[in-house]
Structures are given as structure tokens and as C-alpha cells.
Amino acid sequence: MELTGPVSNSEDWTLLIETLFSKFGTTKPVCRTGNPYAREVDVVSVIRSLDGAYRKCLAEKDECISALKVEISELRSRVDVKERRQKEPIPSTSFNCSKIVSGNTHKDENAVTMITTITTEMKKKEERANNVFLAIPEAKLTEPNGEADFAKKLATDMGISGTKIKNTDPVLLVVELDTKEAKMEMVRKSRSLRQIAEYNDVY
């Protein structure tokens, strides 16, 4: 019998079952009722179960492929949007200088933003120009939060008025002086610290 055609009689079923068992080494089902067709019925149910499982796998595969196609399409759209944004020219924040001269700067949003930014940066630059950084061992600070007093005493011992120090920030120790000249004077006179044992570990 060729197993390419439909199974139509008991002999064909028997041959099909024997072929399946020989191919896959399956243990033959035991006939519990004595019915000569019971084994064939069991095998048919197994085949139908396998066919159902196979069809379910195919359906799930198709669903996965569809989901992946949707995701790929969304990713492509996002890439296209990003590429378009990169190619778009960045608008310049120009403003009308005549408004500044006429005192109407407050009516130009770009001008207000730019002037505010420039003012802030200039202030930060000015503050940095007046700063001196000190690295002070914790053991040198005998009182809690005594960084400012220590910095003023250090400046006094260097021959600089402690009143020139505006504030301190204990990150290292940032000492902000009132002018750039005072800062340069403090830096120039820092060599004198070598003669004072208390400041040997101060940098």
C-alpha cells in the first residue's frame, strides 16, 4: 500500500498504524475492550490531537509574525521622524536690537531670555574669578562648621584682611573674595603658609 492516498479500510488502517509504530517506535496501545478496532481508534485520536497542536502552532506563528511586522513598522516610523528632526534647521534666537535701544526689550521674548542667560553666565564667571580653592584636613577644623573662621584666620596670617572673604563653600573649601585683585593677592602670598606649621597640610 502507498501511504499517499486516503485510508479507507481496516487493512489500510492496520498498515498505517504499523508504519507509524515502526517509524517512531511508539508503544502500541493495549486494547482494553477486546475490540479489534480499539487500537486504531486510539491512534486516530492521537493523530487528531497532534494535528490540532500543529495547527495551533501555525496560528501562533502567524500571530507572532504579524506582531513583529507591526513593531518593525513602528520602529521605522520613529527612525524616520528622528532623521527628519536632525535634518530640520535649528531656529536662531535672534532679536531686534532696536527694541533694546528704545527700552522695549521686555516685549521681545528672545531678547529677555538671551539677556537673562548672558547676565547669569557673566555673574558666574565673575564669581569664579574671585574664588580660591582650599583643601583643608578635617583635623584642622576644631569647631563644627568652622570653615569660614579658618579661612579668615588663614587670610589674616597671610597678611590679607579677613573681611575680604565674602563666604565659603565646604566642597573642598571654596573661598569667594570680594574682588579679583584680592584673589590674586591671596594666591601670591600663599607661599608664606610654608612658614606656619598650622597650614602645612593646607593646599
Q: What is the residue extent of each domain of the chain?
A: 10-82, 97-126, 130-199
The span from the CA of 65 to the CA of 59, in Å, is 10
Element (H, E) at 166: strand 165-169
Name all contacts of 132-135 with Cβ < 8 Å and 24+ positions apart: 132/174, 132/175, 132/177, 132/183, 132/186, 132/187, 133/172, 133/173, 133/174, 133/175, 134/172, 134/173, 134/175, 134/202, 134/203, 135/172, 135/173, 135/202, 135/203
Beta carbons of 95 and 108 less than 8 angstroms apart: yes
Rounded to a whole number, what is the largest CA-CA distance in the chain?
Answer: 118
The span from the CA of 177 to the CA of 132, in Å, is 8
Beta carbons of 165 and 150 less than 8 angstroms apart: no
User: pLDDT tens per residue, the chain (203 residues)?
Assistant: 444 444 445 555 566 666 655 555 445 444 444 455 555 556 666 666 666 777 777 778 878 888 888 888 888 888 888 887 777 665 555 545 455 445 554 555 555 565 566 566 666 666 666 666 666 666 666 666 677 777 777 777 777 777 777 666 554 556 777 787 877 787 777 777 777 777 665 65
Q: How far apart are the first and last CA of the chain?
A: 100
pTM confidence score: 0.26
The span from the CA of 155 to the CA of 88, in Å, is 55
Q: Tell the burial category of 174 from Cβ atoms under 10 Å away from its Cβ (0-12, 13-18, 19+).
A: middle
The span from the CA of 159 to the CA of 152, in Å, is 11
